[in-house]
Amino acid sequence: MGQNEPVPSLLLIEDDDAIRTALELSLTRQGHRVATAASGEDGLKLLREQRPDLIVLDVMLPGIDGFEVCRRIRRTDQLPIILLTARSDDIDVVVGLESGADDYVVKPVQGRVLDARIRAVLRRGERESNDAATFGSLVIDRSAMTVTKNGEDLQLTPTELRLLLELSRRPGQALSRQQLLRLVWEHDYLGDSRLVDACVQRLRAKVEDVPSSPTLIRTVRGVGYRLDPPQ
Amino acid sequence: MTQQDPGGTRGWTAARKGVLSRLRFTSLRLRLVLVFGLVALTAAVSASGIAYWLNREAVLTRTQDAVLRDFEQEMQNRASALPEQPTQDELQHTAGQMAGSDQRFSVLLVARNADGKTVYGSSGGLSGFSLRDVPVSLRTAVNKTQKADGADKHPHHLYWQRIVDHDTPYLVAGTRVIGGGPTGYMLKSLEPEAKDLNSLAWSLGIATALALIGSALLAQAAATTVLKPVQRLGAAARRLGEGKLDTRLRVSGTDELADLSRTFNNAAEALEKRVADMAARDEASRRFVADMSHELRTPLTAITAVTEVLEEELEAETGSMDPMIEPAVRLVVSETRRLNDLVENLMEVTRFDAGTARLVLDDVDIADQITACIDARAWLDAVELDAERGIHARLDPRRLDVILANLIGNALKHGGSPVRVSVREEDDSLVIEVQDHGPGIPEDVLPHVFDRFYKASASRPRSEGSGLGLSIALENAHIHGGEITAANSPDSGAVFTLRLPRDSSEPGEQPAGNGDGPGDGTGEDAKGDA
């Protein structure tokens, strides 16, 4: 984070006053611009007004819960969402990832961990090379950071785009979930493989002709995933 | 019937030997059958015996009386009519006449003829009834002349005796004509009566046998009515013992067994209620711990976030903080971290207790995982790792990390470095050994190392760790279907051995995010290989 970099703006949706205040304090100190909302409804309103770069979303919210907020955002927006959840191994994580969240952190969350995740998610949208790759009807333009299928622009979240980029960089080569977690999510060795699985599901829904029988992003049993150039 | 008995006894013995294997001699059923049988036998035998005896006497006496009366009559009518010294022919003739009566007895007349010779006259001719057939005692009695006194003024009487000749019972009687006449004997076959009595005996024997069989059946029925409920009770008690506390008996009737069933039901009900109460209390206390740790986490999340701000302030520039405040801040920071760990462990334990802990499986390289675990905690210098890369397993990497961190951390704390970690494969399982070089674990502590909050010595204050580490490690191994054992190495130090299956996935335990599933995965494999 250089000095001239624009300060990322975040929207924190959390109902507990103490946690909201503390996280706002911590994240502000890490150098983010933080807007806060105490409920899902307020959060969605703020999202329309402020256009933040990223949303940190608590799962347990009064009124519409975090999953519903997540689903509503995804209907129109591809901006990154990080979930705040109670436990790493419960159904919340799975439901949250299926609703379109990019990553999650478990409470009690450390500000530094959250900051690292935020920066990792934001980095996924950064451009890094100037070439393009074609997989059948799918064209990945790495300079414009766009993906088109049959000439139509696909709306991908930064995480989905990054996953596709990492897979397309090594066509035909199987990447393990742990490898993908490091490359895309920048997680340490304890990354949650469900992040990869959920993201692959969402990506397939967008890029495959028939998402239930994928021809591009293949599952390799016991290893992970690979992107196949069409024969 | 007397001939039946030995055979019956033998048969019973054989039968008893046959069923002895499953029917104990002391079994209630056998005892009941025996008692019923004995009672029936005694009653039937005594009743039959008395009936037989009375019948026999009645039949024999009636026949005998009729025969003797006839004989006496004939003697008076015909024998008295004979001359004093009859001839052989006269005797023979008279005997024949006498035998012609209704009673069909043979007659033998003995007298002296004129020459003083003894002559015989027999109804059946010379080959028929002879004096040889008459018992000597009877002859003596007949020929004995009694003194006539007041009560008995006859010098001679009619005497009789029952004899058996060639298995045929006979009635023999003899008398003398008073005032000098021939001596007359008669022989009457009692075969018809014997046959009647015999058939009576047979009937009684059969009746006794039937009574015995009936009593045995009755005993069986009685035993069944008693034993069925007892068996049901036994089965119910067994089910209750197996933990099916809702076991109840159907109570029918008002007898003692119904009473017993009612008592059983009451006891089972009380037991069920108590167990339910205890389970509810247990559940409530678990819920309390779970809720409590959950509630603790909300303020802790806020505190943790703020503490970090304080921590950064400490690290930023020394001296910028009041020297009085700095140790206080440090304490808050470190204790918040400890509190975090404790609450996290507590929540983990409640998840295991409630059975809500889930595996998030992934294929991992074990050596990489261990290296990363050691590296993340800055233990690389203190741990010797003996593991080859390329050993893959399907497990929950986070839980493996928790196990390893607890085992290695424990070894470093109590045993001191170097800690040796070795990995090997055994069949379908993965064995990871963590060995330290400390003094080892005292024998009396060894069985309790995995207990929650177990203190090796009461005096030692629990300053570090939550006291849940090894317990959580063990639970994490269990949820994988694995095991951890603790032992002391023969050389020195303690050895913790972690054994995990190579593939911990169970049916229905697929990670929910793995939506593409194994089905289309294999399909793709087939396509990919082609």
The residue extents of the domains of chain A are: 9-123, 132-227
At A200 the pLDDT is: 92
If DSSP codes are grouped into helix, strand and coil, which group holds residue B287? Answer: helix
B74 pLDDT more than 90: no
Tell me how far apart the alpha carbons of residues B32 and B39 are, in angstroms, rounded to a whole number: 11
Phi and psi at residue B117, to the nearest 5°: -90, 150
At B24 the pLDDT is: 59
How many CA atoms within 13 Å lie on the side-chain side of B454? Answer: 14
Give chain A positions within 8 Å (CB) of B343.
108
Q: CA dist A155 to A55, A95, B215, Å? A: 18, 21, 94
At A72 the pLDDT is: 92
Is the preceding omega at residue A108 within 30 degrees of 0, hence cis? yes
Give chain B positions within 8 Å (CB) of A118.
none
CA-based nearest residue in chain A for residue B359:
A89
Closest-CA distance, A213 to chain B, in angstroms, reads 7
Scan for tokens 């929950």, then name that residue: B396
Which residues of chain B does CATH 1.10.287 include? 257-352
Tell me how far apart the alpha carbons of residues A197 and B167 are, in angstroms, rounded to a whole number: 109
Pairing state between β B168-176 and B183-189: antiparallel
Tell me how far apart the alpha carbons of residues B26 and B39 are, in angstroms, rounded to a whole number: 18
Spatial contact of A161 and A138, defined as CB atoms under 8 Å apart = no
Phi and psi at residue B397, to the nearest 5°: -60, -35
* CATH class assigned to A9-123: alpha beta
pLDDT digit string (tens) for B359-385? 888 888 899 889 989 988 888 888 999
**B115: buried, middle or exposed (CB in 10 Å: 19+, 13-18, 0-12)?**
exposed
pLDDT digit string (tens) for B449-460? 888 877 655 544
Tell me how far apart the alpha carbons of residues A127 and B528 are, in angstroms, rounded to a whole number: 32
Alpha helices in A16-81 (DSSP H): 17-29, 40-50, 66-76
Scan for tokens 């000439």, then name that residue: A151
For A133, the token pair is: 């790759």
At B516 the pLDDT is: 40
At B160 the pLDDT is: 86
Provide the ipTM: 0.76
pLDDT grade for A47, boundaries at 50, 70 and 90: very high
At B525 the pLDDT is: 36
At B521 the pLDDT is: 37
Lowest mean pLDDT among A143-147, B16-20, B160-164: B16-20
Lowest mean pLDDT among A107-121, A160-174, B177-191, B261-275: B177-191
Residue A45 makes CB contacts below 8 A (sequence gap 6+) with A37
Angle between helices A111-123 and A158-169 (to 10 degrees): 60
At B329 the pLDDT is: 87
For B260, the token pair is: 């017993």
Average pLDDT, chain A: 86
Spatial contact of A101 and A83, defined as CB atoms under 8 Å apart = yes
Closest-CA distance, A18 to chain B, in angstroms, reads 6
Average pLDDT, chain B: 79
Tell me how far apart the alpha carbons of residues A32 and A22 are, in angstroms, rounded to a whole number: 14
Lowest mean pLDDT among A56-65, B91-100, B428-437, B499-508: B499-508
B509 pLDDT more than 50: no
Spatial contact of B440 and B493, defined as CB atoms under 8 Å apart = yes
At B73 the pLDDT is: 82
Tell me how far apart the alpha carbons of residues B340 and B296 are, in angstroms, rounded to a whole number: 9
At A231 the pLDDT is: 63
At B364 the pLDDT is: 85
Beta bridge partners of A146: A141
* CATH number for the domain whose boundaries are A132-227: 1.10.10.10
* CATH number for the domain whose boundaries are B257-352: 1.10.287
pLDDT grade for B520, boundaries at 50, 70 and 90: very low
CA-based nearest residue in chain A for residue B312:
A29
Lowest mean pLDDT among A86-100, A139-153, A206-220, B499-513: B499-513
Phi and psi at residue B183, to the nearest 5°: -90, 130
Comparing A16 with B122, the larger pLDDT belongs to A16
Spatial contact of A128 and A141, defined as CB atoms under 8 Å apart = no
pLDDT grade for B514, boundaries at 50, 70 and 90: very low
Give chain B positions within 8 Å (CB) of A222.
363, 392, 394
Q: Which of A109, A115, A180, A189 to mutate to test the interface with B (most CBs of B within 10 A)?
A: A189
Comparing A1 with A41, the larger pLDDT belongs to A41
If DSSP codes are grouped into helix, strand and coil, which group holds residue B151? Answer: coil
The DSSP H or E segment spanning B497 is strand B494-501
Section B46-60 average pLDDT: 89
At B147 the pLDDT is: 66
pLDDT grade for B5, boundaries at 50, 70 and 90: very low
pLDDT digit string (tens) for B469-493? 889 999 999 999 999 999 988 877 8
Among residues B411, B43, B384, the alpha carbon closest in space to that of B204 is found at B43
A95 pLDDT more than 90: no
* CATH number for the domain whose boundaries are B360-507: 3.30.565.10
Comparing A197 with B94, the larger pLDDT belongs to A197
Tell me how far apart the alpha carbons of residues A202 and B261 are, in angstroms, rounded to a whole number: 63
Phi and psi at residue B108, to the nearest 5°: -130, 125
Beta bridge partners of B165: B168
pLDDT grade for B522, boundaries at 50, 70 and 90: very low
Give chain B positions within 8 Å (CB) of A221.
518, 521-522, 525
Closest-CA distance, A89 to chain B, in angstroms, reads 6
Alpha helices in B242-365 (DSSP H): 256-316, 325-354
Give chain A positions within 8 Å (CB) of B398.
88-89, 190, 192
Closest-CA distance, B301 to chain A, in angstroms, reads 4
At B44 the pLDDT is: 87
Residue A118 amino acid letter: I
Spatial contact of B182 and B111, defined as CB atoms under 8 Å apart = yes
Which residues of chain B does CATH 3.30.565.10 include? 360-507
Q: What is the dihedral of CA B287, B289, B291, B295, to 10 degrees?
A: 180
Tell me how far apart the alpha carbons of residues B343 and B468 are, in angstroms, rounded to a whole number: 11
Residue B149, sorted as left (phi over 0), alpha (psi -120 to 50) or beta, turns out to be beta
Q: CA dist B63 to B6, B106, B166, B198, Å? A: 34, 15, 21, 16
For A121, the token pair is: 């998610």
Tell me how far apart the alpha carbons of residues B299 and B355 are, in angstroms, rounded to a whole number: 26
At B433 the pLDDT is: 93
At B318 the pLDDT is: 61
Lowest mean pLDDT among A179-183, B83-87, B152-156, B332-336: B152-156
Query: Helix %, strand %, coil % for chain A, to 5?
Result: 40, 20, 40
Tell me how far apart the alpha carbons of residues B110 and B100 are, in angstroms, rounded to a whole number: 18
Comparing B412 with B225, the larger pLDDT belongs to B412
The reported pTM is 0.60
pLDDT digit string (tens) for B284-343? 888 888 788 778 888 888 888 888 888 887 777 666 667 788 888 888 888 888 888 888
Which residues of chain B does CATH 3.30.450.20 include? 4-206
Comparing B79 with B153, the larger pLDDT belongs to B79
Lowest mean pLDDT among B23-32, B176-185, B205-214: B23-32
Percent with pLDDT over 70 in chain A: 96
Q: What is the dihedral of CA A79, A82, A88, A94, to 10 degrees?
A: -20
Among residues B342, B327, B326, B356, the alpha carbon closest in space to that of B479 is found at B356
* CATH class assigned to B4-206: alpha beta
B498 pLDDT more than 70: yes
